[in-house]
Chains A and B, each alone.
Chain A
Amino acid sequence: MLLTITTTHSPATDIGYLLHKSPDNLHSKKLPFGQAHVFYPEATKEKCTAALLLDIDPIGLVRKNRGTAFPLEQYVNDRPYVASSFMSVAINRVFGTLLSGTSKHRQELVDQDIPLKTKIYALPCRANKSFLKDLFEPLGYDVETESYALDRKFPEWGDSSYFTLTLEKSCPLRELLIHLYVLIPVLDNKKHYFIGDDEVEKLLQYGEGWLQDHPQKEKIANRYFRNLRSFSRIALDRLADDSPVIDDDEESGDPVKADSQEEALEDSIKTEKKVSLHIQRHKAVIHALKEHNITTLLDLGCGEGKLLRFLKNEKSFSKIAGCDVSIKSLEIVLERLKPDEQRRGEPEIELFQSALTYRDKRFSDYEAATLVEVIEHIDVSRLSALERVVFEAANPRVVIVTTPNSEYNTLFETLSAGQFRHTDHRFEWTRLEFKDWANRVAKSNGYEVSFHPIGDEDKKYGAPSQMAVFVKPDIEEKKAG
C-alpha cells in the first residue's frame, strides 16, 4: 500500500512534472477499492521523494465480493497493507499519463535516464527471498531487502514473507514504473482483484521490450493465472479448518501437487534404460493384468489417472474405470482422458468418486482391481476396512497392489532417516512387512499371491517399489478349463 520514489536528478522536483503531481499538494483519487494519495515527504532541488499511498477499504473489499468469486475472503487480510496487484492498478490510474509516454511540461525527461531509488513497503514474496533479486537484478537494479519477524513475542515462528524492497538504478522513471507495475503482482502471487481481460492484455503490452529476455519470464507469466475451482472444491476448502484459509499453492499439503514431488524424488533413480520408476511400475501392472487375461479393470485411487492413460491405448481392455475420493483429481482425469470422446477400439472409460474404506457395489463390476501406490495413503488402523471392501466385498478375480519398499529409502540422498517419500504417506513398508500383510490378506480371502520387485534391485535393499498380485485360484482354473 505504500511505495516511494526518490530522485537526485537536478532539479529533483522535476519528478513532479513527470508524475503530473505537484510536490506542494496532497493529491487524492478515488479508486474502486479505496483511495490513492500522492504526497511528497521531501521536495528540494537536490532530492525529491514522491509517496504513493493506497488506502484500501478492507470491509468494502470483502463485501463487494460476497457470494461471488471468493466466498472465503477474510476481513483478517493482508491486502489493505501490502503492495499487491492493487498497487499496479493504482500506478496505472494515478500515473497513467507518464506510463503512456507523455509529460506536458517535461517531455524530454520522459525517456531520459535519471537516478532513481524506490522503496516498496510490505511487499509479499512467498517464494524464496532470492526471487526478489532474480526478478530485479537482470533488469539492472541494485537490490536491497529488509525482512521482518512474524511476531517478536514468538521468535520461533520465524520471519514473515514481507519485505521492504529498495531498488536503485539510473533509468527513465517510466521504465521503473512499468517494471513495478508488472512485477509487484508476480511477487505477490495471490488472487488478483479487478483484473479483467483488458488488464491482462495491458500486462502483456507493458512487458514488451524486456519480458521476453527476462530469465524468469516463464515464472512471471505463470503466476498471472489462477486456478479455476469447481463448487465442490470450494465446499471442500470450507472444511479445511486447520489450514490457512488463504491457500498458497507452493506450500499447500495438497496430495495432487505432492505427487509430483514424489515422482521427482523417484525420478532421481532413473535406470540404465532411463525409464522412470513410475513408467516401470505401470508397465509391470499392465503386464500382470494381461498375463491374467483381464479385460475390465478398476483403478482404485486413480489420482490424476496416470495408469488409465497408459491403459487407454491397450486394445486388450474393453472397459477401464478409475475412482478416487478427490474430486479435484477426478476433474483432472476427466479433462485429460475425455471419457466421452471414446474412439473405436479404445476401452470404455468410467470415472467415479468413492472412498476405499466404504463398501461400494460398483467395485464388483470389474475383473480386476489395482491399487497403485495407494495403500500407504491410508491409516494403518483403516487398512482392515480397505481389505474387507476390496478383497471380501468387491472380490474381483485379480487384485494388484503396489507400494514403496521402505528399505530402499536410505538410497535416496534427499530423504532423511525415517522420512517418508510423500508427506501424505501414513506408513511405508519393508519387503517383509508387505509380504506378511499380503499373505495374511490372501489367506483369509481365498487368494493366491505372488510378489514382484519394481525398478532395478539393489543387492541389499531390494527394488524401490514392490508389487503383489492376488489371484483367485478356483475361478482362474475354470477359465483355463
Chain B
Amino acid sequence: MERTIKIPELSLVILVGASGSGKSSFARKHFKDTEIISSDYCRALVSDSENDQSSTKEAFGVLNYIASARLRLGKLTVIDATSVKPEDRRRLVKLARDHYVLPVAIVLDMPWQICHDRNKERPDRQFGKHVVMNHTSALRKGLRSLRKSEGFTNVHVLKGMEEVDAVKIERQTLWNNKKHEHGPFDIIGDIHGCFDETKTLLKKLGYEVSKTKERYSVKHSEGRKIIFVGDLVDRGPKTPDVIRLVKHAIEDEQAFCVVGNHDDKLKRALMGKKVKIAHGLQESLDQLEQESEAFREETKQFLNSLISHYVFDGGGLAVAHAGIKEEFIGRGAPSIKQFCMYGETTGEIDEFGLPVRYPWAEDYRGNTLIVYGHTPIPEPEWVNNTINVDTGCVFGGQLTALRYPEKELVSVPAKKVYADPIKPLVTKTNGNYGRSAYDLLDLSDVTGKRIVNTKLRKSITIHEENSIAALEIMSRFAVDPRWLIYLSPTMSPTETSFKEGHLEHPDEAFKYFKSQGIKQVICEEKHMGSRAIVIACKDTKTAAKRFHVTDGLAGVCYTRTGRSFFNNPKLEKQFIARVRKAVTNADLWKKLDTDWLILDCELMPWSAKAQSLLEQQYAPVAVAAEISLSETSKLLAQAAKRISDVKTLQDDFKGRLKLAQKYRTAYQHYCWPVKNIEDYALAPFHILAHEKSLNMDKDHKWHMGLIEQLCDVDPELFQKTKYKIVELDDDAACAKASEWWEKMTTKGGEGMVMKPMEFTAYGKKGLIQPGIKCRGSEYLRIIYGPEYTRPENLDRLRSRGLGKKRSLALREYALGYEALKHFVDESPLHKVHECVFGVLALESEPVDPRL
C-alpha cells in the first residue's frame, strides 16, 4: 500500500531507528546526498572509523556544526543517527527551533531480528544482538513522548519493511512561501474597522469593488493584488464589513492578509479564551454581536487562518504586521509569529505606559523589501529597505497603500477620528520614529574584509587593512556620508610608448580600445586642476528630501578622497549657489526633470588644492635643482680650463640645468592665486546622475552637449572641455587627434582622456577601461622628475606594469557606479556608503602612484 509523507520544504528531518534498521538507505533513496548528515560519517571524519564509539561526542559536535550551517542558510537537512533516546532528539529539536525551522521525525520501526541480521552481514558491525535489542526497546518506549511532547511538528512512523519500501516523500512549500506570486501588489496598512476608507482607497488604486448578496468582489483590471498588513479589526466602526471584504478577496485569490496582534486577540476572544478587553476590542465584539452566529464562527475561522508573514516575488518582498527580522523571513516558529505580530520591545516602558519598541528596522540589512504596519506614524518612512505603512487611519490619520514594485505611496484621509490614540502620533521632531534612521550607519557596514557584489563586476574584495585606513580618513575628514554618494575611480594611463622622447602617446590608447572591439571614442582635453565632485540641488528643500541633509546646504563640492574641496564654508556656499544658478539659467532642471544633479569635474587651478604639495615638494625640487646644477656648471666651466677630462661632465650638467628649468615651467602652468570665486575655473565633463537617472550608461555626446549649455550661461566660472570624436578604423582621424594632443601638450596642457563613446563599455573579457589618460611629455616632468626625458632615464622608466592600476580602475569604477545606482534607486544609505567606502579603501591599495 502506497503512502505519501508530506515534509515542509525547510525542515530538519530526524530519522529514528535502531542500528541496521535501514536509515541510511532510506535517506539516500529520498534525499540528496548533501542533505544527509550521518553520525557514522561524522565519526569517521574525526576518528577514521565509523564505529569508534569513543569519538561520539566529537562526532556529534561536527554533526551539529554542519546542521547549524545548513539551517542558517535555509537548507533542508536530514539527520541520520539512531536518535532512539528522547534526550538525543531533544538536542536536535532545539537545533531546529534555534534556526526557526520545523523539526520532523521519521521513525523506522523494524523488528530487531532484521536489524541484527543486516548488521551481521557487515564486517564492521560485529556487535552483539543486545545492542540492537536495546535500541528497539528504547525506540518503542519513547514513541509516545515522541508523538506528544517532544515538540516535533510531524512524526511519521513506518512499521516494518513493507511500509518503509512503499512510502513516498513529498516536499511541501511553506504556507508563507508565495515567492511565485510576482505582483504587482498594493500593500495596505492597518485598517482597524475603517471600511469606508478602505473602499475609497481601493477605488483610488483602481480596484472595482462590488457587492452581491453579502459577498464582496474586488478586482483590478491590470491584475494587481492586495496585501493587507493585518489589524483589520478593533477600534473602528465597521469591523465585520472589513472582515467580509478581506475574506472574500482572499477566497477569490485577489488578496493576501497577514495576522495582526488585534486580529489574534479577537480570535482568542471569540474562541472563548480569557483576554483583557481593551484597545478597541469591545467595539469589535459589540459589532459582531449584531451579526449572525454563523458569521461569528466564520470570522473565528478566518482569523485563525491568518499566518505570520508572507514572502513574495522570488523573495524580493516580505509582509508582516509588525515587521520581521532577516533571519526569520520564510521560516516558521512560534517566536517568529510573536515577533511578526508585536515586534520587539526593549523591556522599557515609556511615559504613556506603553512598551518602548526596539527599532529592528535600523538593524535590517537584507535585500528583501519589508512592508509592515502596527505602529501609527504620520508619514511612511523608508528605513533600510523597510517601510511602515500604518498611517493611523482610525486615529484620524490616513489609510495608506504602497504600490509594489513601483514603491509609490497612495493614501486617503480618515473621514473622522474614530479613536483617541494613547499617545500622540509621533512627529518628525519627537520620539523614536521621528529620528531619521537614514543617517545611522553601522560600523559593520564598512569594516573587516568585505566582498561587494556590483552590477558591473561580481565580488569585489576589500581587505581589512584597507578598510581600517579608509575608516580613519572617512570619519575624520570626509564630508557627511549623506552627501558622499560617489567617489571618482582612479584612471589608468596608456600602455607605455616607445616613441622617442615619449612615455605616453595616444597611439597606445587607440590600440587598446580597438583591440577591445570599440568603434568610436571621444578624446577629451584633460584639465590640470583637482578632481572635484559637485552636487547641486534646486533648493534646500530638495537637499532635505533627497539627501536627508537639513543644515541649510543645497549642495557640496568634494575631492577624490571625499574631503570638502573648500576649507572655507562661505566660499563653498557661494560656489554652489553659482553652480545652481547656472543649472537654472541653462534650464537643466526642467530639461532633465530633476531637482538635483551630480557633476564630475576638474576644478582649477591645481594650486588651489595642491598649494602645500607645491610648496613642500614641487617648488623645492626646482630650487634645489637650479642651485646645485647651476653652481656645478659654473665650477665645471672653471675647472675645464685646466682639466680637459671635465668637458663631458660640463656639457652634461648644462643640459640638465635646462631640464630643471623646463620642469619649473611645467608646474607653473597650473598655478595662479585664488582669492574669490571668479579665480576658479570649473570644467565638468560628466553629469553622473540626476533624479531617477544614472547617466553612466549615456553616451559622452549626451554629457558634453548638456555641459556645453551649462558652460555657455556662466563662462566666467565654467570652462569648456575641448573634445574630438574619433572613429577608430579611420587612421587619418586617429593621426589628427594625436596631432591635436601634441599641440595641446607642448603648450603646457596636461594631455587628454580617451573614452569609449558609450561610457560604460564591454569588450571581449567584460568591462573595459572607461577612460585612458594620455599625458603630455612636459606634464610628465612633474610626475617622473625634471630629468626623466634623458634617454638613459626614459629607457628604464618604460618598464612599468599597468595591470594592477587597470584592475583597480575597473573595481573602483564598478563600485562608484553601484553607489550612484543605489542612490538613484533610493536604496538605504548604508548600501550607498558601503560602495563609496569601498572606493576609498581600494585607493589605499599599493599601486605605483605615478600611473
> Do chains A and B stick together as partners?
yes
Residues of A participating in the B interface, judged by any CB pair closer than 8 Å: 1-2, 4, 24-26, 37, 39-43, 51, 53, 58-60, 63, 71-72, 74-78, 80-82, 121-122, 124, 148-151, 153-154, 156-158, 160-162, 164, 231-232, 234-236, 238-239, 241-246, 248, 251, 325-327, 353-361, 377, 379, 381-382, 384-385, 388-389, 392-393, 474
Contact status B668-A151, CB under 8 Å = yes
B752 within 8 A of A: no
Task: Report which of B445, B469, B632 forms a contact with A2, defined as CB distance below 8 A.
Answer: B632
Rounded to whole Å, the gap between the CB of B322 and the closest CB of chain A is 21
Query: Are A151 and B473 CB-contacts (below 8 A) given A41-B638, A361-B444, A385-B439?
Result: no
B613 to chain A, nearest CB (A): 5
Known: A26-B643, A354-B443, A360-B443. A76 touches B846 (CB 8 A): no
Give A63's nearest chain B residue, CB to CB.
Answer: B796
- Chain B 558-589: CB-based contact to A (< 8 A → 1; otherwise 0): 01110100000000000000000000000000
B616 engages A74 (CB within 8 Å): no
From the candidates A151, A154, A158, A241, name the one contacting B559 in the complex (CB within 8 A): A241
How distant is the Cα of A42 from the Cα of B447 in the complex, in angstroms? Answer: 66
Using known A-B contacts A58-B787, A238-B844, A358-B446, determine if residue A248 contacts B628 with beta carbons closer than 8 Å. no
- Given A59-B797, A75-B784, A245-B617, decide whether A122 and B628 contact each other with a Cβ distance below 8 A: yes
The listed residue (B468, B474, B480, B617) touching A244 by CB distance below 8 A is B617
Contact partners of B615 in chain A: CB under 8 A: 150, 157-158
A427 → chain B, closest Cβ, in Å?
A: 12
- Nearest to B673 among chain A residues (CB) is A156
Bound CA span A148–B626, Å: 10
Of the listed residues B441, B620, B845, the one surrounded by the most CB atoms of chain A closer than 10 A to its CB is B620
Q: Considering the chains assembled together, what is the distance between the CA atoms of A242 and B611 in angstroms? A: 9
Knowing A42-B638, A153-B668, A358-B446 are in contact, say whether A385-B440 is a contact too (CB < 8 A).
yes
Query: A51–B559 contact, CB under 8 A?
Result: no
Contacts of B783 in A (CB 8 A): 75-76
Partner of B627, one of A121, A354, A385: A121
Q: Is the CB of B646 within 8 A of A39?
A: yes
Contact string, B775-788, partner A, CB cutoff 8 A, digits 1/0? 00000001111111
> From residue A359, how far is it (CB to closest CB) to chain B in Å?
5
Residues B796 and A246 in contact, CB atoms below 8 Å apart: no
**Is B538 in the interface zone, CB < 8 Å from A?**
no
Q: List 5 A-B contacts (CB under 8 A).
A: A2-B631, A76-B784, A239-B470, A353-B468, A360-B443
B656 shortest CB reach to chain A, Å:
9
Task: Indicate which residue in B619, B631, B843 contacts A157 across the interface (CB closer than 8 Å).
Answer: B619
Chain A residues contacting B636 (CB-CB under 8 Å) are 39, 41
* For the complex of A and B, 3 pairs with smallest distance between CB atoms: A355-B475, A75-B785, A81-B624
Q: Say yes or no: A381-B843 contact (C-beta < 8 A), given A1-B628, A76-B783, A359-B442.
A: no
Interface flag for B649 (CB, 8 Å): yes
Give Cα distance in the complex from A357 to B440, angstroms. 8
Is B166 part of the binding interface, using a Cβ–Cβ cutoff of 8 Å? no
| Complexed CA–CA distance, A139 and B561 (Å) | 49
Judge whether A78 and B474 touch: CB under 8 Å.
no
Chain B interface (Cβ within 8 Å of chain A)? 348, 435, 439-447, 465-466, 468-476, 480-481, 551, 559-561, 563, 609-610, 612-625, 627-629, 631-632, 635-636, 638-639, 642-643, 645-646, 649, 664, 668, 671, 673, 782-788, 793, 796-797, 840, 843-846, 849-850
The smallest beta-carbon distance between A387 and chain B, in angstroms, is 10
CB closest chain-A residue, reference B442: A359
Given contacts A1-B628, A151-B623, A154-B671, 18 further A-B pairs with CB under 8 A are A26-B643, A26-B645, A39-B636, A40-B639, A41-B638, A75-B850, A77-B785, A81-B625, A121-B628, A151-B619, A162-B620, A164-B631, A238-B844, A355-B475, A358-B475, A360-B443, A361-B444, A385-B440
Residue contact A353 to B471, C-beta cutoff 8 Å: yes
State the CA gap A244–B561 with chains docked (Å): 15
**Contact between chains at A39 and B643 (CB < 8 Å):** yes
How many angstroms from the CA of A325 to the CA of B793 in the assembled complex?
A: 42
CA distance A247 to B529 in the complex (A): 22
Q: How far is the CA of A143 from the CA of B638 in the complex (A)?
A: 25
State which of A80, A122, A239, A377 has its C-beta within 8 Å of the C-beta of B469.
Answer: A239
Q: How far is the CA of A51 from the CA of B616 in the complex (A)?
A: 29
Chain A residues whose CB sits within 8 angstroms of the CB of B673 once the complex forms: 154, 156
CA distance A148 to B618 in the complex (A): 15
Assess the B624–A25 pair: CB atoms within 8 A: no
Q: How far is B447's CA from A26's CA once the two chains are assembled, in angstroms?
A: 61
Find out whether the CB atom of B624 lies under 8 angstroms from the CB atom of A122.
yes
Q: Which residues of B contact A232 (CB under 8 A)?
A: 465, 468-469
B645 contacts which chain A residues (CB < 8 A)? 25-26
B668–A239 contact, CB under 8 A?
A: no
Q: A2-B631, A24-B643 are in contact. Are A358 and B472 (CB under 8 A)?
A: no
Q: How far is the CA of A441 from the CA of B704 in the complex (A)?
A: 48
CB distance from A55 to the nearest CB of B (A): 8
- Asked if residues B627 and A161 are in contact (CB atoms below 8 Å), the reply is no
Nearest opposing residue in chain B for A241, CB measure = B561
Using Cβ atoms and an 8 Å threshold, which residues of chain B touch A4? Answer: 635
Contact B613 A236 (CB under 8 A): no
Q: How many angstroms between the C-alpha atoms of A361 and B445 in the bound complex?
A: 12
